[in-house]
Amino acid sequence: MVPRFLILLSLATLILVGLHYYVFERACRYLTLSPPEQRLLKYALSAAFLLVWTAMPLGRLLTMDAARPLFYVAFIWLGTLVLLSVGLLFGDIARWLSMLFPVEVERRAWLQQLIGRASLGLGAALSGYALVQGLRRVAVKQVAVPVRDLPAVLDGLRIVQITDLHIGPTLRGPWLRHVVETINTLRPDVIAITGDLVDGPVAALRPHIAPLADLKAKHGTFFVTGNHEYYAGPNEWIAELRRLGLRVLRNERVTLVHDPAQAQDSRLDIAGVDDFHSHSFPGHGPDLPRALDGRDRSLPLVLLAHQPLAIHEAVEHGVTLQLSGHTHGGQIWPWGYFVRLQQPFVVGLHRIKETFLYVSCGTGYWGPPMRLAAPAEITELRLQRA
């Protein structure tokens, strides 16, 4: 039986080869390149393919600092390749539609050449815009969550969520420092980090994660694992984050008292579960019933769960609000449509029966430092009486 990893690697390689050939063939046609120019383009795209295909294994042989330029170039080209293909696809559709109209042969050829060149320009423009959006500073997004029967003393309680920071090859300590400073200016009641914080081992990223120790919130900072923590060494990262003062919730629940003067009416439960697909790691795996064992169901409950997939079980257990990430909102349009094949919700606030779900677009990025129609966010969620 062929290992699943080899199947996925073969599929990814075929897609990568196909996209490079698609761009090559269309560029030769629309730009009317001469044979020497076509050979030059072929060599350039072949080199770009090898760079993308080998960036990850080569990066593991180098120090993280030495690999950083390699990752930047490879990932920027990967995002550009995707968006060039999207622009060319729109061009192909426009060309096919133009054939439905009776036009002189010469005029049709001129029109199709114009459409083709415009589609190349569209792909390049989208790539540039996505790069600017990916590298810009993260903005704060405010979201109101109307909670039924919310005690008056909890009305206005603020939870700041960050997720999918992916500190590693390209996002480093100075960038995280700015995120931490932005959060602290909000003076939140609770800070929630919903997974995929890192892309690398503790030994390489310890100094880059250090700014998290400066996070300040009335009731503290809570963290749950994402799938990328399991690629990087979950037990080591859990220990490191606890050393930095974060409360790591592993199928656990904590009851907060928002106002000691009104202790009985100002209680709020914060629960967290391991990543949805972490069962294959010994001692790990989501267990919501364990986290909610002995819960007072009259209290509002906020659940931290990296993947939106956890919402089905959350609804069954009467969770008030689930905070998730994982999807990046698709990160680069139109990828979000493919994410919908694997996750029930991709971005934004949703209500399922009496449970709310908020899915963040993410605070960092994975792979290409690019975003299109899915801006990065530091989310300030405010609980309000419905």
- Overall number of domains in the chain: 2
| pLDDT for position 109 | 85
| pLDDT at residue 98 is higher than 90 | no
> Could you give the CA distance from residue 362 to residue 369 in angstroms, rounded to a whole number?
13
**Confidence check: pLDDT of 134 > 90:** yes
Residue 145 and residue 80 in one domain: no
If asked whether residues 262 and 158 sit together in one domain, one would say: yes
> Token pair of 221, please?
């900072």
334 and 210 in one domain?
Answer: yes
Residue-wise pLDDT for 297-321, tens only, equals: 999 999 999 999 999 999 999 999 9
* 373 vs 330: CA distance, rounded Å: 8
Lowest mean pLDDT among 49-58, 160-169, 173-182, 362-371: 49-58
Strand 267-272 relative to strand 252-257, pairing: antiparallel
Residues 6+ apart with CB under 8 A from 230: 275, 278, 281, 284
Which among 106, 135, 164 is the end of a domain? 135
Parallel, antiparallel, or unpaired for β 158-162 and 139-147?
unpaired
| Distance (Å, whole) CA 323 – CA 342 | 18
111 and 197: one domain? no
| Residue 193 falls in which region: left (phi positive, over 0), alpha (psi -120 to 50) or beta | beta
Average pLDDT over residues 187-199: 98
Tokens of 296: 């007072």
Which pair of structure tokens corresponds to residue 128? 């540039």
Write the CATH number for 289.
3.60.21.10
Q: Please determine, for residue 9, whether its predicted confidence score (pLDDT) is greater than 90.
A: no
Residues 71 and 150 in one domain: no
Amino acid at 282: P
Site of tokens 């928002």: 258
Average pLDDT of span 192-199? 97
pLDDT value, residue 2: 58
If asked whether residues 154 and 104 sit together in one domain, one would say no
Tokens of 34: 């001469």
d(CA 120, CA 116): 6
Report pLDDT for 123. 97
**Domain boundary, last residue among 71, 104, 135:** 135
Does the pLDDT of residue 1 top 60, yes or no? no
DSSP 149: T
Instruction: Classify each residue of 170-193 as buried b or exposed e, where b means 16 or more C-beta atoms within 10 Å of its C-beta.
Output: bbbeebbeebbebbeebebbbbbb
Q: Given 88, 107, 135, which residue is the final one in a domain?
A: 135
Residue 233: per-residue pLDDT: 94
Q: Which CA distances in Å does 332 have to 36, 101, 186, 247, 328?
A: 34, 34, 28, 32, 9
- 118 with 149, same domain: the answer is no
**103 and 233 fall within a common domain:** no
**Mean pLDDT over the full length of the chain:** 95
* CA count, 13 A, side-chain hemisphere, 347: 21
Please tell me whether residues 114 and 262 are part of one structural domain: no
* Range 363-374 average pLDDT: 97
Instruction: Determine if residue 157 is left, alpha or beta; phi over 0 gives left, psi from -120 to 50 gives alpha, anything else beta.
Output: beta
pLDDT digits (tens, 9 = 90+) for 46-68: 999 999 999 988 888 888 888 99
What is the Cα–Cα distance from 260 to 12, expressed in whole angstroms?
Answer: 55
How far is residue 188 CA from its own chain's centroid? 23
Q: Are residues 235 and 337 in the same domain?
A: yes
CA distances to 67, 85, 168 from 73, rounded to whole Å, are 10, 18, 15
Q: Which residues constitute the domain of residue 78?
A: 4-135
Of the pLDDT bands very low, low, confident and very high (cuts 50, 70, 90), residue 105 is confident
Tell me: do 274 and 334 sit in the same domain.
yes
Nearest C-alpha neighbor of 220 from the set 249, 182, 177 = 249
pLDDT at 4 over 80: no
Does residue 211 have a cis peptide bond before it, meaning omega lies within 30 degrees of 0? no
Report the C-alpha gap between 155 and 158 in whole angstroms: 9
**DSSP percent split of the chain into helix, strand, coil, nearest 5:** 50, 15, 35
Same domain, 144 and 131: no
Contact by Cβ (8 Å): 379, 192: no
pLDDT tens string 215-269 = 999 999 999 999 999 999 999 999 999 999 999 999 999 999 999 989 888 999 9
